[in-house]
Amino acid sequence: MAEKSEKIILLHQERKNAMAVPGLLEAPSGRVDDALGRPLHDLRISVTDRCNFRCVYCMPKEVFDKDYAYLPHNSLLSFEEITRVASIFIAHGVEKIRLTGGEPLLRKDLERLIGMLAALPTPSGRPLDLTLTTNGSLLARKARALKDAGLNRVTVSLDALDDAIFKRMNDVDFAVADVLRGIDVAHEVGLGPIKVNMVVKAGMNDAQILPMARYFKDTPYILRFIEYMDVGASNGWNMAEVIPSAEVVAKISAEMPLVAIDPNYTGETASRWRYADGSGEVGMISSVTQSFCKDCSRARLSTEGQLYTCLFATRGHDLRGLLRDGRSDAEIAGAVAHLWRQRADRYSDTRTQNTNTSDIEPGLKRVEMSYIGG
Ligand code: SAM
Ligand code: SF4
Ligand code: SF4
């Protein structure tokens, strides 16, 4: 293979996570595969590390308190920088971009970024699939502007219908009714099909599985149950707090029978189930009990321009350094391809009962979900 014999020039030797730019640059071909044959297809971009919620499984209050050091504004990638990176990833075959965070709707003028991304041409001529994940708190207010700017769809996180349980999960006082209204407004303006994500944490909100299923059955919304994951280093994850998706399916099926259906595409994170009576669909994201690394085609860009090839990585790769050092698009594209070709991440495939810290080199911590994006 040509790239194997390429001379690699290491930039910024002093930065341990600097990205290597190959000496021989090839124009992006629209497809680049990693070491396990997985193409680069999805890019998740975190636009802020801040959030107005303090979900216990993501940004627990004890860690993300008033003294927590969030990124200063000048560390954040600008909209122009994000758009440039996105165009390079699109040239490598990325067809789906998800904006996330933190809470992405807290980033000022986000509609301007959406407009810039929506205008990017793709090699196939097919429009980019541009979507966003939000906690829904600002959605009713912003849905129209997001749609007008060119956003295709939204995914809304909602962990309970009961206000008291919702508050226990997110540790702030926000009414469930306002999130539900945000979902309805988003649907009305055409940001569908809307997916609703519920993280299930044993002993916290598992009693909400059936009320959530009943509420979203027979609506245009697809409810997805997410197994509580050991991301980051703050949530004190424990396997005993994970409810396997198989149990969720059994619980719902006992009252409202479910039938398994085929995935929409290879690499889809959720397994799909439809109600036997034809009244809608639910999804199961079983990252802990049935890992899906085999088809994982996602790269993640942190708020400050660190590139991650796995959600469970302990190290990012400094893409912002290349952007701010005046590197050309061809050089940055070469560095991204070089990194992706080496990628062999399959953390969830190899996770064990107590992987929360045991697999990590001393001195390193897994990156937080609020920094890298879900
Ligand atoms: N703030 C937005 C939201 O909550 O939708 C976007 C960012 S959030 C990090 C993205 C997704 O990650 C959410 O659906 C959230 O529920 C999920 N998430 C965060 N921590 C998680 C964990 N430990 N296990 C499973 N899902 C998690
Ligand atoms: Fe905020 Fe989303 Fe994390 Fe909850 S899951 S704390 S809403 S970033
Ligand atoms: Fe992808 Fe890493 Fe998750 Fe596996 S563990 S599915 S490689 S992000």
Could you tell me the residue ranges of all domains in the chain? 2-372
Residue 12 has pLDDT above 50, yes or no: no
What pLDDT shows up at residue 230?
87
Q: What is the pLDDT of residues 79-90, one digit of tens each?
A: 999 999 999 999
What pLDDT shows up at residue 370?
79
301 C-alpha vs ligand 3 centroid, how far in Å? Answer: 14
- Helix ranges, the chain (H): 79-91, 110-118, 139-149, 163-170, 176-189, 209-216, 245-255, 319-324, 329-342, 347-350, 355-358, 369-372
Question: Of ligand 1's atoms, which has the minimum distance to the CA of residue 58?
Answer: 20
Kindly identify the ligand whose nearest atom is closest to the C-alpha of 344. 3
Q: What's the full length of the chain, in residues?
A: 374
Grade residue 106 by pLDDT with cuts at 50, 70 and 90. very high
Residue 359 has pLDDT above 60, yes or no: no
Question: Of ligand 1's atoms, which has the minimum distance to the CA of residue 57?
Answer: 23
Q: How far is CA 163 from the centre of its chain?
A: 26
Q: What is the pLDDT of residues 136-184, one digit of tens each?
A: 999 999 999 999 999 999 999 999 999 999 999 999 999 999 999 999 9
Q: What architecture does CATH give domain 2-372?
A: Alpha-Beta Barrel (3.20)
Residue 137 has which token pair? 């708190």
Cα–Cα distance measured from residue 242 to residue 220, given in angstroms and rounded to the nearest whole number: 28
Least confident window among 75-89, 176-190, 259-273, 333-347: 259-273
Residue 254 has pLDDT above 60, yes or no: yes
Least confident window among 101-110, 133-142, 244-253, 358-367: 358-367
340 C-alpha vs ligand 3 centroid, how far in Å? Answer: 14
7 C-alpha vs ligand 2 centroid, how far in Å? Answer: 42
What is the average pLDDT value for the chain, to the nearest integer?
91
